[in-house]
């Protein structure tokens, strides 16, 4: 991917939108889901809210890098979005849109 590219993925999870949102917004859980994200430092336990900032440590092979992320949308239980920076430069935006299904 190059700068400005967008990747979109969709999955169905058999639980409530509130439970999905709470899991995603509790970013302390992210290292258990990501092969690169090794740890995060969060301001408090539980789901983060708009404006909260947290730090991450990533590792792939011998490469290790730190990131800072800011919650840019927090609309429970529908949307959770973070902007990730590294060395004060934009890296990516992660946006989770949660919709109930029958």
- % residues pLDDT > 70 (the chain): 97
pTM over 0.85: yes
Residue 3 pLDDT class (50, 70, 90 cuts): low
Question: What digits encode the pLDDT tens for the residues 56-73?
Answer: 999 999 999 999 999 999
Question: What digits encode the pLDDT tens for the residues 34-58?
Answer: 999 999 999 999 899 999 999 999 9
Cα dist. 80→1, 37, 65, 76, 87 in Å? 23, 18, 24, 7, 23
> What does the pLDDT read at residue 46?
87
């Amino acid at each position: 991917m190059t700068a400005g590219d967008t990747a979109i993925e969709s999955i169905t999870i058999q639980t409530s939108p509130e439970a999905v949102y709470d899991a995603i917004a509790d970013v302390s859980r992210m290292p258990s889901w990501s092969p690169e994200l090794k740890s995060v430092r969060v301001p408090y336990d539980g789901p983060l809210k708009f404006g909260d900032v947290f730090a991450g440590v990533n590792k792939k092979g011998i490469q290790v890098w730190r990131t800072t992320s800011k919650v840019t949308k927090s609309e429970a239980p529908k949307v959770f979005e973070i902007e990730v920076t590294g060395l004060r430069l934009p890296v990516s935006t992660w946006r989770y849109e949660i919709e109930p299904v029958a």
